[in-house]
């Protein structure tokens, strides 16, 4: 099949400026993580990318080790870009990262300049691109000077291999230093990618205020708490769910009855708002304007439709926010 994108694709999505930059991101971005590698169906992956773009989702987020196997998500997207998006490259944002284990030996992970530059070169080859729009340091390296890691990010921008750079999984003290170093080097930090959801609120203590003060955007990963903030587990653990299998990302014992009771209470609130639980959870992360975009994963197009519906969310009332806090207390 030949992909013909919808002509009205930008009418249903909302976009937010990323920090103090000129770049705008869709409120919902698509992460091509562990449902997009070599073990996934080619037809399913193409359908998800098509559907996302038709909904105005222009940002596709990867990392060097996404798959499985590692690297296969970038290879899969690269094929889709060549076959379906060759004339649309300037309308999409492609981001990738390096920091976690990618190949054996002392130069296959963390934050050395050797690893980061080599990893980006490999990512560009798999994607079939001359540059990515955003390149991240995926995690801080406790043994490499932060100055070296940030110098590598500055270098790839100056080489034309990335337009912008960002950081992910950096706690506030590390993020502050990284932002300061990049500013001195002349390559501003565009964005930070932390985990953030109704069930994981650590960024509220300091990080979100820091990013706003420094003019750095924020894109939240795992805003649906690995699928817990959907209707998937309200009544139990489905046999075909992540928690029922061998996935290291969500264990069966984490899905307790006490947690499901809270999710059912939140689900009732969402229904009263005319939303699904997933839409309300995403709207809550976006509620203050301090988060630029929410990064969602999917295994089928209908899940992308559900998440994209967050753009029609009504603002939360003070009573609703208080009730959410009460349920989760």
Judged by average pLDDT, the poorest of 154-163, 211-220, 241-250, 313-322 is 241-250
Stretch 122-134: mean pLDDT: 98
pLDDT at 226: 87
On the question of pLDDT at 82 being above 90, the answer is yes
pLDDT at 252: 65
On the question of pLDDT at 235 being above 80, the answer is no
pLDDT digit string, tens, across residues 11-35? 999 999 999 999 999 999 999 998 8
Can you tell me whether residue 1 is helix, strand or coil?
coil
Stretch 173-187: mean pLDDT: 98
Mean pLDDT score of the chain: 95
pLDDT at 273: 97
DSSP 121: H
Strand 24-26 versus strand 15-17 pairing type: antiparallel
Residue 39: which pLDDT band, with cuts at 50, 70 and 90? confident
Question: What's the rounded Cα separation, in Å, for the pair 266 and 272?
Answer: 10
| Rg of the chain taking only CA atoms, in angstroms | 19
On the question of pLDDT at 240 being above 90, the answer is no
Measuring CA to CA, which residue among 192, 151, 143 is closest to residue 169? 192
Distances (CA, A) of 54 to 30, 127, 272: 12, 21, 28
Residues in the chain: 329
Residue 127: which pLDDT band, with cuts at 50, 70 and 90? very high
Distances (CA, A) of 33 to 29, 36, 65, 167, 222: 12, 6, 9, 17, 11
CATH-assigned architecture of domain 15-228+277-315: Alpha-Beta Barrel (3.20)
**Of 165-174, 226-235, 239-248, where does the model show the most confidence?**
165-174
Say if pTM beats, i.e. exceeds, 0.75.
Answer: yes
Map out the domains of the chain as residue ranges. Answer: 15-228+277-315
On the question of pLDDT at 244 being above 60, the answer is no
To which residue do tokens 């999409």 refer? 92
Q: Which helix (H) or strand (E) holds 255?
A: none
Stretch 245-268: mean pLDDT: 81
pLDDT at 250: 67
Residue 297: which pLDDT band, with cuts at 50, 70 and 90? very high
pLDDT digit string, tens, across residues 97-117? 999 999 999 999 999 999 999
Can you tell me whether residue 268 is helix, strand or coil?
helix
Contact 26, 59 (CB under 8 A): yes
Percent share of the chain, pLDDT over 70: 95
């Amino acid at each position: 099949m030949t992909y013909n994108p919808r002509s009205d694709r930008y009418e249903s999505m909302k976009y937010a400026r990323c920090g103090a930059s000129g770049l705008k991101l869709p409120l919902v971005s698509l992460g091509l993580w562990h449902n997009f590698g070599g073990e996934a169906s080619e037809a399913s992956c193409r359908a998800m990318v098509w559907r996302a773009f038709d909904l105005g989702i222009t940002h596709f987020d990867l990392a060097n080790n996404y798959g499985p196997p590692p690297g296969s998500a970038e290879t899969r997207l690269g094929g889709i870009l060549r076959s379906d998006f060759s004339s649309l490259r300037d309308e999409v944002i492609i981001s990738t990262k390096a920091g976690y284990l990618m190949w054996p030996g002392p130069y296959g992970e963390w934050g050395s300049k050797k690893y980061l530059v080599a990893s980006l070169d490999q990512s560009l080859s798999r994607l079939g691109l001359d540059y990515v729009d955003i390149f991240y340091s995926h995690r801080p390296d406790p043994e490499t000077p932060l100055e070296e890691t940030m110098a590598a990010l500055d270098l790839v921008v100056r080489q034309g291999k990335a337009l912008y750079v960002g950081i992910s999984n950096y706690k506030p003290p590390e993020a502050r230093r990284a932002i300061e170093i990049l500013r001195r080097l002349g390559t501003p930090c565009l964005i930070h990618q932390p985990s953030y959801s109704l069930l994981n609120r650590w960024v509220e203590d300091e990080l979100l205020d820091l990013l706003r003060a420094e003019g750095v955007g924020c894109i939240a990963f795992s805003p649906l708490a690995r699928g817990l903030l959907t209707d998937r587990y309200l009544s139990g653990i489905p046999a075909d769910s992540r928690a029922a299998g061998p996935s290291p990302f969500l264990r069966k014992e984490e899905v307790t009855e006490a947690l499901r009771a809270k999710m059912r209470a939140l689900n009732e609130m969402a229904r009263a708002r005319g939303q699904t639980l997933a839409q309300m959870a995403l709207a809550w992360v976006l509620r203050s304007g301090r988060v630029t975009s929410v990064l969602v994963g999917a295994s089928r197009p209908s899940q992308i439709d559900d998440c994209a519906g967050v753009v029609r969310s009504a603002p939360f009332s003070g009573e609703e926010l208080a009730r959410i806090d009460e349920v989760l207390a």
